Amino acid sequence: MVLKPFHTDALNGLCSKDQLDLLDSVDCLRSQGISHYVSLPQIIVCGDQSSGKSSVLEAISGVSFPIKSNLCTRFPIELVLRKTSHIGVTVSIVPHHSRSESEQLSLSSFHEKLDGFDGLSTLIENAKAAMAISTHGKAFSKDLLRVEVSGPDRPHLTIVDLPGLIHSETKQQSASDVELVQDVVQAYMKEPRSIILAVVSAKNDYANQIVLKLARAADKRGNRTLGVITKPDTLIPGSESEAMYVSLARNQDVEFRLGWHVLKNMDSETGVWSLADRDIKEEEFFDQGIWENLSRSLLGVDKLRKRLSKVLLGQIATELPSLIDEIEIKSKACRSRLDKLGEPRATLDEQRLYLLHISQSFHSLIKASVDGTYNDLFFEDAESEPGYQKRIRAVVQNLNLDFAERIARQGHRREIVDSPNKTVVPKGVTATTREGFIDHIQHLMRRTKGRELPGTFNPMIVADLFLEQSSPWEAITRKHIEKVWKAAKEFLNLTTIYIADAATSKALFQKIFEPALDQLLRTLNAKSTELLTPHQKSHPITYNQYFTEALQKVRNERSNDEYTRIIKDFFGVPSLDSVYLTSQYKDLRPLVAALMQRTEPDMNRFACSEALDCMEAYYKVALKRFVDDIAIEVIESKLISPLYDIFSPITVTSMPADLVTRIASESEENRAQREQLTKKLDVLMKGSETCKSFIGVRVLGEDDSTIQRGSWFKSANYNPSDDNEGSDEGFEVDVRSLSNSSYDRGSLASKESEPLSREIAEREVEPDSPEAIEIPKAEPMPPAEEEDFFFSKKKKEKKKSKVAVRRAIYE
DSSP assignment of 56-85: HHHHHHSEE----TT----S-EEEEEEE-S
Residues ≥6 apart with Cβ < 8 Å to 230:
51, 52, 55, 56, 199, 200, 201, 202, 263, 264, 265
Beta carbons of 211 and 199 less than 8 angstroms apart: yes
Paired with 44 in beta bridges are 160, 196
The reply to whether 620 and 702 lie within a common domain is: no
> Cα–Cα distance between 312 and 739 in angstroms, integer?
14
**pLDDT of 65-85, one tens digit each?**
554 444 456 778 888 777 677
The reply to whether 605 and 708 lie within a common domain is: no
Residue 134, pLDDT > 70, answer: no
How many domains does the structure of the chain reveal?
A: 2
Q: How far is CA 575 from CA 56, 580, 584, 719, in A?
A: 100, 11, 21, 87
Helix (H, G, I), strand (E, B) or coil at 168: coil
> Cα–Cα distance between 396 and 355 in angstroms, integer?
28
Beta carbons of 218 and 190 less than 8 angstroms apart: yes
> Cα–Cα distance between 183 and 187 in angstroms, integer?
6
| Residue 412 domain-assigned (yes or no) | yes
| Residue 768 domain-assigned (yes or no) | yes
| Residue 251 domain-assigned (yes or no) | no
Residue type, 785: E
The reply to whether 656 and 726 lie within a common domain is: no
The reply to whether 507 and 458 lie within a common domain is: yes
Segments in 572-707 forming alpha helices (H): 589-596, 603-629, 643-646, 649-653, 657-664, 668-692
- Provide the sign of the torsion angle of the four alpha carbons 626, 627, 628, 630, taken in this order: positive
- Provide the sign of the torsion angle of the four alpha carbons 439, 440, 443, 447, taken in this order: negative
Q: What is the pLDDT of residue 710?
A: 37
The reply to whether 648 and 711 lie within a common domain is: no
> Cα–Cα distance between 129 and 132 in angstroms, integer?
5
The reply to whether 498 and 578 lie within a common domain is: yes
| Residue 763 domain-assigned (yes or no) | yes
The reply to whether 625 and 713 lie within a common domain is: no
Chain centre distance of CA 270 = 54
Rg (CA), the chain: 43
> Cα–Cα distance between 467 and 587 in angstroms, integer?
49
> Cα–Cα distance between 513 and 213 in angstroms, integer?
57
Which stretches does DSSP call E strand in 523-604? none
Q: Which of 663, 682, 707 is the last residue of a domain?
A: 663
Beta carbons of 43 and 337 less than 8 angstroms apart: no
Q: What is the pLDDT of residue 422?
A: 81
Beta carbons of 646 and 512 less than 8 angstroms apart: yes
Half-sphere exposure of 11 (CA within 13 A, CB side): 20
> Cα–Cα distance between 139 and 181 in angstroms, integer?
10
| Residue 381 domain-assigned (yes or no) | yes
The reply to whether 577 and 726 lie within a common domain is: no
**What is the chain's length?**
811
**pLDDT of 573-625, one tens digit each?**
777 777 776 666 777 777 777 776 655 567 788 888 888 888 988 999 999 99
Q: What is the pLDDT of residue 746?
A: 37
The reply to whether 502 and 405 lie within a common domain is: yes
φ and ψ at residue 392, rounded to 5 degrees: -65, -35
**pLDDT of 525-559, one tens digit each?**
999 999 999 998 888 888 877 777 877 777 777 77
Which stretches does DSSP call E strand in 309-440? 414-416, 430-432
Residue 228, pLDDT > 90, answer: yes
Confidence tier at 671 by pLDDT (50, 70, 90): confident
Q: What is the pLDDT of residue 629?
A: 96
| Residue 616 domain-assigned (yes or no) | yes
Q: Which domain holds residue 795?
A: 697-810
Chain centre distance of CA 765 = 34
Q: What is the pLDDT of residue 739?
A: 32
| Residue 7 domain-assigned (yes or no) | no
Q: Are strands 157-161 and 225-230 parallel, antiparallel or unpaired?
A: unpaired
The reply to whether 391 and 480 lie within a common domain is: yes
Q: Are strands 77-83 and 144-151 parallel, antiparallel or unpaired?
A: parallel
The reply to whether 432 and 531 lie within a common domain is: yes
Provide the b/e sequence for 661-678 (b: ≥16 CB within 10 Å).
eebbbbeeebeebbeebe
Q: What is the pLDDT of residue 638?
A: 95
CA–CA–CA angle 242, 247, 250 (5° rounding)? 130
Beta carbons of 691 and 327 less than 8 angstroms apart: yes
At 352, which helix (H) or strand (E)?
helix 348-371
Count of Cβ atoms closer than 10 Å to residue 480 Cβ: 23
**pLDDT of 782-808, one tens digit each?**
333 333 333 333 334 434 444 444 444
| Residue 64 domain-assigned (yes or no) | no
The reply to whether 564 and 484 lie within a common domain is: yes
Paired with 10 in beta bridges are none
> Cα–Cα distance between 657 and 665 in angstroms, integer?
11
Beta carbons of 518 and 530 less than 8 angstroms apart: no
Q: Which of 616, 642, 663 is the last residue of a domain?
A: 663
Helix (H, G, I), strand (E, B) or coil at 92: strand
Q: What is the pLDDT of residue 186?
A: 87
Top mean pLDDT of 282-286, 308-312, 599-603, 672-676 is at 282-286
